[in-house]
Amino acid sequence: MAGVTIQHVAQAAGVSPTTVSNLLNGRANQMLPETRQRVEAAIERLGYRPNRAARHLRTGRSRTVGLVVPSVGNPFWGTFARYLEAAALTEGYNVLLCNSERDPDRERRYVEELWSDGVQGVVLCSSLPSLEHVMPLMDRGLQIVAFDRAAQANDADSLVSISIDNAVGSQLATTHLTSLGHRRLAFVSGALGSINRKERYRGFTAALEQAGLSTENTLWPGASGEQFGDVETAELGRRAARELLATDDPPTGIVAINDMCALGVCRGVRDAGLEVAKDVSVVGFDDIVLADLYDPPLTTVRQPMPEMAKAAIAELKSRVEGPGTGQGRSLLLRPELVVRQSSAPPRG
C-alpha cells in the first residue's frame, strides 16, 4: 500500500480527518481519550505517515534547513555536517545536505532548489567572495547563514556570517612557532583567492611583525595564480616544501593554509631527506580527524565546530520563526591552537 492517507485513517477509526489531524498536530487534549486511542490504533495498524509534500503545501512551512558545502569528500565539511545535523535535530529541524563541488553555478542551483522545496533557511559554505548569486532569493525571504566566510561590505543586509577569526587563528599558529624560537618562516597556500586565505595570511604576517621578523619572501611564490581542490592541496604542500627546503636559506617553520596542505608539506619535508619537527616545524589549520592520526601528529588550529553549528542553527531558527527579516550580523568565534608533535624548537 503506497498511499495511506489521513482519510483512510479517519475512516478506519470512525472519525473525521480533522480529528486525526488534530491528534497529529498536538491538539490531542481537546478530544476524548477513547477517540484518541482509536485514532492512534488506526495510525499504527495502517502504518500511516503524513505526506510531507501535502503538509508543506498547506502550511507553507518546512522544518528543513539546507546545508551547502564545497565538498562532502572533505572530512572538514563532513564533520561540520554532522555537527550541524545534530544541532538542527535538537531544534526539531532536518538538514538537507548539498554538495556544490565549489562550482558557483551548482551552488546557486542548489540554493534555488532548496528555496523552491520550501526550505526557508540555508547554511551556505561558499568560498566565493561575492554572494550576489543568491541575492534574489534573499530578497524573497530566504534566510542565509554564510559559514566559514567573513562578512563583506557588499553582502546583503540580512546576511548572517559565522566563521572563526582566521587572522587570529593563523596568528596563534605563527606565534607558536616564533615563540619556539623559529626566525625563518614560510606560509604555504594555494592562490590567496578566498577571504579566508587572505585573512590567514594576514594573521601570519601580523605575527611575524609582532615578533620583529621580516615578512619578505615568506609567502611561497608558487601560491599565486592557481586554484586547487582538496586532494591537490596536499600535492601543492608537498611541492612547496620541496622547493622551499632546496633554497639557500630554508625556513625552519612552515604554516600551511590547512591540514591537507600541511600533510603534504610533511611529505615534502621527508622527500627532502629531513624530519618533521626535528628539522622543520609544520603547523596546519582546521584539525581534521587525520591531523591527530598522522605521524607525527599535526600541530594545528582547531575550529570550534559544535559551537559554530549550534550558532548557525540558532540564527536560522530565530529568523525563520521570528518576525520580519532580521538585520545581518557577523559572528567570529575564536579558534584554538592544538599543539601536537609536528612543531618543536628549531635545531641548534
Q: Give the interface with a copy of itself as residue ranges (CB under 8 A).
A: 1-2, 47, 49-54, 56-57, 62, 71-75, 77-79, 81-82, 85, 94, 96-99, 101, 112-113, 115-118, 136, 140-141, 230-231, 234, 260, 263-264, 266-267, 270, 289-290, 293-295
Q: Which three cell numbers stand for residue 333?
A: 568565534
What is the nearest approach in angstroms of a copy of itself to the Cβ of residue 328?
19
Given the complex with DNA, which of 29 and 327 has the nearer CB atom? Answer: 29
Given the complex with DNA, which of 22 and 175 has the nearer CB atom? Answer: 22
- H/E run at residue 338: strand 336-338
CA distances from 323 to 120, 204, 266 (A): 13, 42, 51
- H/E run at residue 147: strand 143-147
Contacts 24+ apart (CB under 8 A), 210-214: 210/171, 210/175, 210/178, 211/175, 211/178, 213/178, 213/183, 213/185
The entry of DNA, a copy of itself, none that residue 170 binds, CB within 5 to 8 Å by partner kind: none
Sheet (strand 281-283) strand order: 185-188, 253-256, 281-283
The entry of DNA, a copy of itself, none that residue 7 binds, CB within 5 to 8 Å by partner kind: DNA
Is 149 within 8 Å of 126 (Cβ atoms)? yes
What is the nearest approach in angstroms of DNA to the Cβ of residue 10?
7
Q: Which three cell numbers stand for residue 27?
A: 491538539
What span, in angstroms and rounded, lies between the C-alpha atoms of 194 and 198?
6
Q: Which of 51, 79, 94, 341 binds DNA (CB under 7 A)?
A: 51
What is the nearest approach in angstroms of a copy of itself to the Cβ of residue 23?
16
Given the complex with DNA, which of 11 and 330 has the nearer CB atom? Answer: 11
Strand partners, 255: 187, 283
Neighbours of 116 (CB within 10 A): 9
What span, in angstroms and rounded, lies between the C-alpha atoms of 23 and 252?
68
Q: Which three cell numbers stand for residue 2?
A: 503506497
Given the complex with DNA, which of 26 and 212 has the nearer CB atom? Answer: 26
Interacting residues with DNA between 60 and 89 (CB under 7 A): 60
The count of C-alpha atoms lying within 13 angstroms of the C-alpha of 140, restricted to the half-sphere facing its C-beta, is 13
Given the complex with a copy of itself, which of 77 and 201 has the nearer CB atom? Answer: 77
Beta-carbon contacts of 135 under 8 Å, excluding residues fewer than 6 positions away, are 156
Q: Which of 1, 12, 21, 322 binds DNA (CB under 7 A)?
A: 21
What is the nearest approach in angstroms of DNA to the Cβ of residue 63?
11
Does 41 participate in binding DNA (rule CB under 7 A)?
no
The count of C-alpha atoms lying within 13 angstroms of the C-alpha of 210, restricted to the half-sphere facing its C-beta, is 15
Q: Which of 58, 278, 329, 347 binds DNA (CB under 7 A)?
A: 58
Does 18 participate in binding DNA (rule CB under 7 A)?
yes
Does 37 participate in binding DNA (rule CB under 7 A)?
no
Given the complex with a copy of itself, which of 208 and 238 has the nearer CB atom? Answer: 238
Size of the site for DNA (CB under 7 A): 31
The entry of a copy of itself, DNA, none that residue 30 binds, CB within 5 to 8 Å by partner kind: DNA
Q: Which three cell numbers stand for residue 226?
A: 592557481
Q: Give the footprint of DNA on this chain (CB under 7 A).
A: 3, 5-7, 10, 14-22, 24-25, 30-32, 34-36, 48, 50-51, 54-55, 57-60
